Chain A
Amino acid sequence: MLRLEKRPQPSRAWTYGAPVLAVILTIIFGMGLFAILGKDPLIAIKTIFWDPIFGPFAHFYRPEIVKKAAPLVLIAVGLSFGFRAGIWNIGAEGQYIIGAICGAGVALAFYPMEARWLIFPLMIVVGLVGGLLWAMIPAILRVVFKTNEILVSLMLVYVAEVLIKAFSIGLLRNPEGFGMPGSRNLRQYPSAANLDLIPNTGFHWGALAALMAVVAAYILFTRHQFGFNVRLAGQSPRAAGFAGVNANRLVILCMGISGALAGLAGLFEVAGPSGQILGSFPAFYGFTAIIVAFLGRLHPVGILFAGLIMALTYIGGQAAEAQLNLPAAAILTFQGMLLFCLLAVDVLTNYRFKFGQREAR
């Protein structure tokens, strides 16, 4: 009989091995899915995973992967603090949108002034603060009224979505846009544009911020008391209380960090790849980042890799949609499988399979 036995210690090998196995399982199940849809599974997988990096048009795809990965990593690193502490900010999507609105608002307020030294840094600050304040709503409600931050942060996503639609046809609409919805394109406003730091690599300011966030989070988690308290609170809330960790302060800090980084991601997106405030502003980064955070085991370096892989499935998925006529839903299903497989193999970190009778010491 096959059964699970709890390990005395979490397995170090499986902590790192589980995400790799999850990706492999996803590829296997994904091939099955594509086969059922009547596509050649090997070609589908090659189109998604191989061609964007090494294929003949890789020079076109690679910058797109970086552009996709940057906001995912930035948001996921922020979320990892709360998730490790047992504070569930599900509304990063909303904080991301608000960050974009605030940052773009600053830029448009200064338009057409030429002062990149002033405007771009100010956009960064305001975008960050916007996301942070949006995250403070569920945080403060939880601390003061013990509301559930999952529900409140999630509901605020829908509020943010309505706001960005309203702004795109209202306050922030391009006055020279012939009545079309959407703001001015910030990419064409040199003082506000978030362009590639190295041309044609997709490596814009947001990617730099994501890398800095990865490094900072790594240091905080491994060397700093704050990261230690976050882990302690997540693993043993009572022990954290005994160690003197202020649970309410932790809620505010973790929600604040995730909100601020999501806001930053929004700002860099609106000033760069997207360019304008629009009702169809590139969405779902905030939700996908939740998957990225868990795929990366809530570890900063893991999140970096997970963000890149997730971006690859987006870019590769779009290529597969276009070239193989795969339905968009199939790609979403494929991404869902990835999280599902990860959660399933996650059990191996703390448990091992044993054949035969149960034994206990």
Chain B
Amino acid sequence: MKLLELQGLTKAYPGVIANSDVSFDIDKGQIHAVLGENGAGKSTLVKTIYGLVRPDKGQMLLEGAPFAPTDPRSARAAGVAMVFQHFSLFDAMSVAENIALGMENPPKTQDLATQIQAASENYGLPLSPDRIVGDLSAGERQRVEIIRCLLQNPKLLIMDEPTSVLTPQEVDILFGTLRLLASEGTSILYISHKLQEIRALCEHATVLRQGKVVGTFDPREMSNRDMAEMMVGKTLTTPKRAAVTTGQPLLQVSGLSAPSPHQFGTSLKEISFTLHAGEVLGIGGVAGNGQDELVAALSGEIRTSDDMILLEDQGIGADGPNARRALGLCAAPEERNGHAAAPDMSLVENALMTAKTRLSLLKKGFIDWPRSRAFAQEVIARFDVRTPSPETAARALSGGNLQKFVIGREIIQNPRVLVINQPTWGVDAAAAAAIRQALLDLASAGSAVLVISQDLEEVLEITDRFAALNEGTLSQAVPTAGLTMEKIGLMLGGAHDLEVAHA
């Protein structure tokens, strides 16, 4: 039986048609995937269903009756819930308060806490209702969003890229949850570009390209490559690299311990690893296990004793970010807006922000704007950053484009060591492939790359060695070749986290 029918939905914005005659149906209890690159119109489509956008043409039927939500509240009242890719949470409030804010008639805080605890245990998403959201990692914040929706008992649950920050075991549990919900009659609209996961979960998939439906099929009968190419509309190349020639050690970290600057952060405990020239080392881990702290300790935002971090045998643990850049260590943190880039500043200013040292964009403290602009333009051109101009504010760029800019900015500086956290989070398939290729090229050219990622497919694809970060400690690094998802999952100690939630 059909739950939701989309009939000829069309939505145009000045200069771009976001959706053009989009039609497909979602049955009751069906898990339906929507695939597409950034800008393909997925967001507009789900926002139409969620009442954030009103279509220019076309209509929707929910359980046979016309459905034209004027705002998210009426969509929620009709039984549509959504987990957004970008979190809409208030940092200063607790988990329970944030969840209460999204509810029409929130119960008493105590009851709500009990409900959250229950949902968290049923669905294997460890979450304490009393914690302050500002102290949570990206992965934990997403759990808040998911649980907020689950508490509404929706008929249709829209999930926009929900698994980017979960371990394989957690993904399995989440999929179990989604299948359970589907078997209870809840329909799920699942938006993702992780093809593996769509194949594992969904029976139906609709592919959008440039606002149009280009295909509806059963993902279990399609290869990843076919699906990806249908999505992009052209033949994809998997990242390739020249033969690995591991050189001398560039970055040696030994016994790195540092308290987290945040109250609920994870302190780093005795972390040791060596990064060689020409090597890509992957560090995996569930969100909130010390990734941010490790990046900060390597970038210079957290200072340690000098000998804990050696760059080409020179102690840099006590140096600040610019001193490290001068010596050849560049970094790109996970959060693009507000950390790796300043949202209200132009791309030129953002380019200057980290490139000033290595590219000598300062003369006696005075900024060389023409060269900064030229550098920003180089990043934009070489990394295919879609932006009206280099003077555009960073916040006006889409996540994928800003990420290409942030990573391009560091790579073009030609660092000896590049530390990068979540290089392709929220980035579409084509852009992700371009970013991964650029990282491999940098390593092939003789630099060392440290990739910290929660996307394990990515880790398997581009790294030479792999180590797991768990509660601030780092495992021994092992060669990536021959590793399976299951082995990685065990290294991450993923299961242990979940047992706590069930206890």
Bound-complex Cα distance A10 to B342 (A): 14
Chain B residues with Cβ below 8 Å from A242 are 299, 301, 321, 331, 333, 339-340, 353-354
Bound-complex Cα distance A231 to B340 (A): 16
Chain A residues with Cβ below 8 Å from B333 are 242
B339 x A236 contact (CB < 8 A) = yes
Looking at A26-34, A44-52, A219-227, A251-259, the stretch in contact with chain B turns out to be A219-227
A360 x B47 contact (CB < 8 A) = yes
Residues of A330-355 whose CB lies within 8 A of B: none
The reply on A189 being an interface residue by CB < 8 A is: no
A8 x B393 contact (CB < 8 A) = yes
Known: A236-B343, A360-B47, A361-B47. A241 touches B301 (CB 8 A): yes
Chain B residues with Cβ below 8 Å from A9 are 392-393, 395-396
B366 x A231 contact (CB < 8 A) = no
Looking at B143-151, B167-175, B231-239, B344-352, the stretch in contact with chain A turns out to be B344-352
Residues of B319-359 whose CB lies within 8 A of A: 320-323, 325, 331, 333, 335, 338-345, 349, 352-354, 356-357
Known: A8-B396, A239-B340. A360 touches B353 (CB 8 A): no
Pair count A-B, CB < 8 A: 89
The reply on B93 being an interface residue by CB < 8 A is: no
The reply on B20 being an interface residue by CB < 8 A is: no
B300 x A239 contact (CB < 8 A) = no
Chain B residues with Cβ below 8 Å from A226 are 365
B365 x A232 contact (CB < 8 A) = no
Chain B residues with Cβ below 8 Å from A240 are 342
Chain A residues with Cβ below 8 Å from B331 are 242
Of the listed residues B325, B339, B393, the one surrounded by the most CB atoms of chain A closer than 10 A to its CB is B339
Chain A residues with Cβ below 8 Å from B70 are 357
A228 x B52 contact (CB < 8 A) = no
The reply on A235 being an interface residue by CB < 8 A is: yes
The reply on B276 being an interface residue by CB < 8 A is: no
A235 x B342 contact (CB < 8 A) = yes
Bound-complex Cα distance A243 to B357 (A): 10
Residues of B287-337 whose CB lies within 8 A of A: 299-301, 320-323, 325, 331, 333, 335
Of the listed residues A224, A232, A235, A241, the one surrounded by the most CB atoms of chain B closer than 10 A to its CB is A241
Residues of A92-113 whose CB lies within 8 A of B: none
For residue A239, give the distance in angstroms from its CB to the closest CB of chain B: 4
Chain A residues with Cβ below 8 Å from B119 are none
The reply on B101 being an interface residue by CB < 8 A is: no
The reply on A238 being an interface residue by CB < 8 A is: yes
B321 x A243 contact (CB < 8 A) = yes
Bound-complex Cα distance A333 to B99 (A): 43
Interface size of B as a range: 35 or more
The reply on B266 being an interface residue by CB < 8 A is: no
The reply on A246 being an interface residue by CB < 8 A is: yes
Bound-complex Cα distance A235 to B395 (A): 12
The reply on A146 being an interface residue by CB < 8 A is: no
Interface residue from B71, B321, B341 paired with A358 (Cβ < 8 Å) = B71
Chain B residues with Cβ below 8 Å from A361 are 13, 18, 43-44, 47, 53
A239 x B342 contact (CB < 8 A) = yes
For residue A13, give the distance in angstroms from its CB to the closest CB of chain B: 15
Residues of A181-240 whose CB lies within 8 A of B: 223-226, 228, 231-232, 235-236, 238-240
- Which residue of A has the minimal Cβ distance to B325? A244
A223 x B367 contact (CB < 8 A) = yes
B53 x A225 contact (CB < 8 A) = no
Chain B residues with Cβ below 8 Å from A231 are 345
The reply on A176 being an interface residue by CB < 8 A is: no
Chain A residues with Cβ below 8 Å from B395 are 8-9
Interface residue from A223, A235, A357, A358 paired with B345 (Cβ < 8 Å) = A235
A358 x B340 contact (CB < 8 A) = no
Interface residue from B300, B301, B323, B353 paired with A232 (Cβ < 8 Å) = B353
For residue B91, give the distance in angstroms from its CB to the closest CB of chain A: 12
A244 x B367 contact (CB < 8 A) = no
For residue B419, give the distance in angstroms from its CB to the closest CB of chain A: 12
Mask: chain B, 387-414; 1 = CB below 8 Å from A; 0 = not: 0000011011000000000000000000
Known: A8-B396, A246-B320, A361-B53. A238 touches B352 (CB 8 A): no
The reply on B436 being an interface residue by CB < 8 A is: no
Known: A10-B344, A232-B345, A361-B47. A225 touches B396 (CB 8 A): no
Chain A residues with Cβ below 8 Å from B18 are 361
B44 x A239 contact (CB < 8 A) = no
The reply on B32 being an interface residue by CB < 8 A is: no
Known: A223-B366, A244-B320, A357-B70. A239 touches B301 (CB 8 A): no
The reply on B78 being an interface residue by CB < 8 A is: no
Known: A224-B367, A232-B342. A243 touches B353 (CB 8 A): yes
For residue B67, give the distance in angstroms from its CB to the closest CB of chain A: 16
The reply on B199 being an interface residue by CB < 8 A is: no
The reply on B362 being an interface residue by CB < 8 A is: yes
Chain A residues with Cβ below 8 Å from B43 are 361
For residue B260, give the distance in angstroms from its CB to the closest CB of chain A: 14
Bound-complex Cα distance A32 to B366 (A): 49
A236 x B338 contact (CB < 8 A) = yes
Bound-complex Cα distance A197 to B381 (A): 55
The reply on B179 being an interface residue by CB < 8 A is: no
Bound-complex Cα distance A45 to B127 (A): 61
The reply on B212 being an interface residue by CB < 8 A is: no
B393 x A228 contact (CB < 8 A) = no
Chain A residues with Cβ below 8 Å from B204 are none
For residue B54, give the distance in angstroms from its CB to the closest CB of chain A: 6
Residue numbers of B with Cβ under 8 A of A are 13, 18, 43-44, 47, 52-54, 70-71, 299-301, 320-323, 325, 331, 333, 335, 338-345, 349, 352-354, 356-357, 362, 365-367, 369, 392-393, 395-396
Residue numbers of A with Cβ under 8 A of B are 8-10, 223-226, 228, 231-232, 235-236, 238-244, 246, 357-361
The contact sample of 24 A-B pairs, CB cut-off 8 A, is: A8-B395, A9-B395, A225-B365, A226-B365, A228-B367, A231-B345, A235-B342, A235-B345, A236-B339, A236-B342, A236-B344, A238-B339, A239-B339, A239-B342, A239-B353, A240-B342, A241-B301, A241-B321, A242-B333, A242-B340, A242-B353, A243-B353, A359-B53, A360-B52
- In the complex, besides A236-B343, A360-B52, 9 extra interface pairs with C-beta distance below 8 angstroms are A8-B396, A224-B365, A225-B366, A242-B331, A244-B321, A244-B322, A358-B71, A359-B53, A360-B47
Q: Nearest 6 A-B pairs (CB), nearest first?
A: A244-B322, A244-B321, A236-B342, A8-B396, A239-B342, A238-B339
